[in-house]
Amino acid sequence: MYDYDLLIVGSANADLVIGVERRPAAGETVLGSDLAVHPGGKGANQAVAAARLGARTALLARVGDDDHGKLLLDSQRTAGVDTVGVLVGEVPTGVALITVDPSGDNSIVVSPGANGRLTPGDIRAAASLFHASRVVSTQLEIPLETVVEVVRSLAPGSRFVLNPSPPRALPREVLDACDPLIVNEHEAKVILGTSRVGDTPEDWARILLAKGPRSVVITLGAEGALVASADGARRIPAVRVDPVDTTGAGDAFTAALAWRLGTGESLAEAAAYAARVGAAAVTKAGAQASYPTAAEVEAL
């Protein structure tokens, strides 16, 4: 019996957002809107998204002993995430500096802060969390050696989900554990190490599977998603909505898919549910503030 449906190991950032009429050129200063501060980071986003849906969720991350760290902890606890694995102190909380123009295009600079200090030793010290979790999900906003240690710490019978964002080349040990590896087109090309990965998502999935993952999910934006494993590939249609803000929608998709896999659903079933969760998320502004409850997903 597992205490947690899902353990998220990853980043927690404070998103500092300023709206601008246009993004500045080199050496230029522009005036913007009032500063808005939101809880963010791919790990923290996924934990909140899963907990809102009803998953028993824990977060393993690092934040600073500062106001941004308090903001992130408060957001997690309000959503129902168990923060026993969140380590506090040593260095400031990670920060993302975001400028957004009227079209919604943004420019982002991230200071990893405490995220860069989540070490393999921290993972080993949290062994009880891994043994208590049915599914473990992570991303690449923490050190790669820490992600490797996550793979080595998985309990027998647990499932590992990886969203390799921001993308980089991955060791075979990590790829072999992925079930699934969740990527978009850009991330697939980086992992494959080439811009020529075939003409279709089915081609990309076939080549990715040959590199070791047990299954692959490729997100295709308005075209939905593709799921693939040794049993074959299948397209998952998108859910049509009027989008308001796509920020954090990919994190909502990943969290929902990871949770539903742990409940025993097939990869296609879990991806179809995750597509509905992602669609619901884009109908509201913000990242964590936009994440739906299970009832809201059913209503959609």
Is 34 annotated as ligand-binding?
Answer: no
Find out whether 188 and 170 touch, Cβ atoms under 8 Å.
no
> What pLDDT score was predicted for residue 195?
54
The DSSP element (H or E) to which 84 belongs, if any, is strand 82-88
Confidence tier at 158 by pLDDT (50, 70, 90): very high
Is 272 annotated as ligand-binding?
Answer: no
Query: Across residues 14-35, what is the average pLDDT?
Result: 90
Give the CATH number for residue 267: 3.40.1190.20
Q: What is the DSSP letter of 47?
A: H
Please, what is the average pLDDT of the chain? 92
Alpha carbon distance 126, 158 (integer Å): 15
Residue 194 pLDDT > 80: no
SS3 of 263, please? coil
What's the pLDDT tens digit per position in 60-111?
Answer: 999 999 999 999 999 999 999 999 999 998 899 999 888 888 876 677 888 9
Query: Across residues 233-246, what is the average pLDDT?
Result: 84
Q: What is the DSSP letter of 20?
A: B
Is 231 annotated as ligand-binding?
Answer: no
Is 14 annotated as ligand-binding?
Answer: yes
- Taking the CB of residue 128, how many other CB atoms lie within 10 A of it? 12
Query: Across residues 135-155, what is the average pLDDT?
Result: 97
Is 281 annotated as ligand-binding?
Answer: yes
Query: Across residues 196-208, what is the average pLDDT?
Result: 82
Residue 123 pLDDT > 90: yes
Classify residue 295 as exposed, middle or buried by CB count within 10 Å of its CB (0-12, 13-18, 19+): exposed
> What pLDDT score was predicted for residue 197?
57
Tokens of 213: 């993952």
Confidence tier at 242 by pLDDT (50, 70, 90): confident
> What pLDDT score was predicted for residue 102?
81
Number of domains in the chain: 1
Query: Across residues 128-150, what is the average pLDDT?
Result: 97
Is 15 annotated as ligand-binding?
Answer: yes
Backbone angles phi, psi at 86, to 5 degrees: -85, 120
- Taking the CB of residue 266, how many other CB atoms lie within 10 A of it? 14
What residues make up the domain containing 9?
Answer: 4-299
Tokens of 98: 């975001």
Percent of the chain with pLDDT over 70: 97
Calculate helix-pair angle for 249-262, 267-281, nearest 10 degrees: 150
> What pLDDT score was predicted for residue 243?
76
Least confident of 42-46, 76-80, 94-98, 171-175: 94-98
Query: Across residues 200-211, what is the average pLDDT?
Result: 91
Residue 171 pLDDT > 90: yes
Residue 283 pLDDT > 60: yes
> What pLDDT score was predicted for residue 191?
86
Residue 260 pLDDT > 90: yes
Alpha carbon distance 86, 16 (integer Å): 21
Is 21 annotated as ligand-binding?
Answer: no
Backbone angles phi, psi at 154, to 5 degrees: -60, 140
Least confident of 93-97, 160-164, 250-254, 279-283: 279-283
* Active centre residues (catalytic): 251
> What pLDDT score was predicted for residue 110?
85
